[in-house]
Structure 1
């Protein structure tokens, strides 16, 4: 009877369900819902273990009730234990990462060189047999080979600058903080009397560039730099070292010459010594140095560029920067510089015959001509016509790469084997 009334009302209102059976089902479900809710809640309260058994396998991790710390002991306790274990794992991993970072920091600190020290005079005297040992490199521009505190060292003697305070530990630390592959490592210094002694770490098999170019007196045709690539490698190392001194260390060298450059073996790599000597020692007399520009007595970056230009021309030709030649017409000796001979070779197109004969004509002529022009521009008489070391280092590096490619083309292929025998 109830269903028939609802069907009559449903026919009048289109929004009502059209089927009386569906209306009766919805009504019966809504009426039964409170009783089912009550029964299910009472069953959950009466048997929590049965409800726990009906949970899926991953309900303990996905249910928010189980993750709460205030839940039943069987579920909440496990969650608390897993959380404490996770915290212990996190703390142990952070401790291990902290210990590894400390170990890496200690290794990086150990790899850094020791700061320069002030040597006592008696220690240097004991290492050089009271300075009676023979100097390597020859003359007063040479150095003593000695051992200082377990390290092989090259000890140079320079005149102290008049009126300047003796270098202290702070001055040495300021110089020693710069480290570059083309700079020899400063081990320490010792001001004694009117001289300043600078000790540099001596590379294995090292010799000055002057000794490598000139060779022994008994065999002037010998040279350690007997290949084109060895000459270009030394030029690139010196150029990059001076560029670092001028534009990264923000200072000057003041003593660029073959006597202040060490060549190590194997590899024939160049390292510049006397870095920072312009702050500690007196500048060399410009009249006595063929590397100093005429009319310029104070050390400067432009003077370093001029000295590098002369050194580059000397490196290419194998000649001394200045020598005297007897003129038969005037019956007098005339001073001839390597700058004049290089300029004459470029103008006459005779660079190939001007380059060092000990190379055996095994070099790229075009690359040699470009390097000669770089040396002449750096050694220009006018200060405003000289480039900076960034330009010079870039040009020399470009020639180095071209020479490396030239060497690769001329290298004998190793995958080809030739056998001689009867057929």
Structure 2
């Protein structure tokens, strides 16, 4: 170290003496030499710039720290840059964690609440001991259960059916816009009570189509509203069959609830086939919605029931009614399947459609829907609900386009009387 210092001292002194000898005299025309940078400084700048280029080309994440400390920032500058990077990383991690928690909370909020087993006393208190007036064509009680507006249905209980929390969890884990949300159930002797969360002003499809007090009234006054209901029910059944891996078993207008705004339909009684007995029987021990020869719930039986329901939507008539025959002087049972098949064969679908719609419907669309319904109710080659939902949805889109085309403009008014 001492030897190196001596050499450095001699080198500095020699440099000063050489500068003194080469110093120009006053008045001389020789230009003064430009002071040159020290060799070590040039090497340092060159190595610094080359290191920057290598790190930038390699994409090294430490290039920023290296540049800031080497360009004179000093240890404190390097520490500040490193601290800023750690702060930015910590902030990014915090924001990612918070966004992940928000996404998880949103996903949990979108899931349906698990159904509960209500005690019988709670249901009795909510319905005034089941003496309150029923809604939806006497199909359910409108009540409040634990702060929620609910519709309480009473169904015959399947003998030996175990209604427990595990069975309800299997039914309530699915949620779809065309399915009503199941709040809970209560087995009470020979009956089963199912509670659904429904919006205010809801009514069953049976009550929307037919009013005992006013037969000429219907809540589904337009063609598009009826096709909308048919599309909602078809999509709900398609979801039950091919996404939930289950069957419905009780498709009927009493199991379809229509609510405002938009007259959208929701399918109730999903999963009731596991707990409830078959639907109420009618003539000759058969329900008009039950497929001939089928005693247990199945997908084919659901497709058959939807075909009958679709014809009921189009005609506004009950699926089976009695008509007095003047020739035989007796009452004969008439099915909507028979009248629809006769209208399709005779080309008189326009006269067969519900007269309360007037002539405000596309006849070609009505004929296609009748064809779909008859195929659903056929004995052989019955389609699945994916095909049916696609056909009905296509007719719905065409009907919306037809409605936009034929509606009366609202930019002007017409007066038929003197002002």
TM-score per shorter chain, which class? Answer: 0.7 to 0.9
CA distance in 2, matches of 1:367, 1:62: 73
Name the residue aligned to 1:218.
Answer: 213
CA distance in 2, matches of 1:342, 1:74: 90
TM-superposed deviation, 1:76 = 4.1
Which residue, out of 244, 248, 268, partners 1:249?
A: 244
Look up the SS of the partner of 2:186 in the other structure: strand
TM-superposed deviation, 1:372 = 0.7
CA distance in 2, matches of 1:327, 1:202: 43
Name the residue aligned to 1:322.
Answer: 320
| Structure 1 pair 366–78 and aligned structure 2 pair: CA distance change class (3 A) | same
CA distance in 2, matches of 1:332, 1:69: 104
Look up the SS of the partner of 2:327 in the other structure: coil
Which residue, out of 174, 177, 185, partners 2:170?
A: 174
- TM-score of the two chains, using structure 2 as the length reference: 0.81
Kindly report which structure 2 residues correspond to 1:315-394, keeping only aligned pairs within 5 A, or say none.
315-380=313-378, 382=379, 384-394=380-390
Greater than 4 Å deviation, 4+ residue runs: 58-61, 63-66, 68-74, 414-420
Name the residue aligned to 2:140.
Answer: 143
TM-superposed deviation, 1:218 = 2.5
Is contact 1:136–1:145 with CA below 8 Å preserved after alignment? yes
Which whole-Å deviations, capped at 9, do the CAs of 1:275-317 have from their partners, x for residues lacking one?
Answer: 0001111122552411112232221111111111111011000
Look up the SS of the partner of 1:181 in the other structure: coil
Which deviates further from its counterpart, 228-237 or 287-296? 287-296
Which whole-Å deviations, capped at 9, do the CAs of 1:67-114 have from their partners, x for residues lacking one?
Answer: 289979863442233112211221122122212321332233234331
CA distance in 2, matches of 1:365, 1:203: 33
Structure 2 segments unaligned to the other structure (5+ residues): 1-10, 17-36, 56-62
Name the residue aligned to 1:133.
Answer: 132
CA distance in 1, matches of 2:86, 2:117: 53
| Structure 1 pair 62–357 and aligned structure 2 pair: CA distance change class (3 A) | same
TM-superposed deviation, 1:412 = 2.7
- TM-score of the two chains, using structure 1 as the length reference: 0.80
CA distance in 1, matches of 2:291, 2:67: 86
Name the residue aligned to 2:290.
Answer: 292
Pair 1:152 & 2:130 matched: no
TM-superposed deviation, 1:347 = 1.2
Over aligned residues, Cα RMSD in angstroms? 3.1
| Structure 1 pair 75–341 and aligned structure 2 pair: CA distance change class (3 A) | same
Which whole-Å deviations, capped at 9, do the CAs of 1:163-214 have from their partners, x for residues lacking one?
Answer: 222x111111111111111100001111111211100012221000000000
CA distance in 2, matches of 1:265, 1:68: 67
Name the residue aligned to 2:193.
Answer: 197
Name the residue aligned to 1:282.
Answer: 277
TM-superposed deviation, 1:55 = 5.7
Is contact 1:60–1:67 with CA below 8 Å preserved after alignment? no
Which deviates further from its counterpart, 59-68 or 226-235? 59-68
Which deviates further from its counterpart, 88-97 or 67-76? 67-76
Is contact 2:279–2:287 with CA below 8 Å preserved after alignment? yes
TM-superposed deviation, 1:61 = 9.3
Name the residue aligned to 1:301.
Answer: 299
Pair 1:87 & 2:70 matched: no
CA distance in 2, matches of 1:73, 1:300: 81
| Structure 1 pair 71–160 and aligned structure 2 pair: CA distance change class (3 A) | same
CA distance in 2, matches of 1:222, 1:269: 19
TM-superposed deviation, 1:238 = 0.6
Is contact 2:178–2:233 with CA below 8 Å preserved after alignment? yes
Name the residue aligned to 2:105.
Answer: 106
Name the residue aligned to 1:404.
Answer: 400
| Structure 1 pair 110–60 and aligned structure 2 pair: CA distance change class (3 A) | farther
| Structure 1 pair 121–69 and aligned structure 2 pair: CA distance change class (3 A) | same
| Structure 1 pair 275–178 and aligned structure 2 pair: CA distance change class (3 A) | same
CA distance in 1, matches of 2:244, 2:95: 39
Structure 1 segments unaligned to the other structure (5+ residues): 1-37
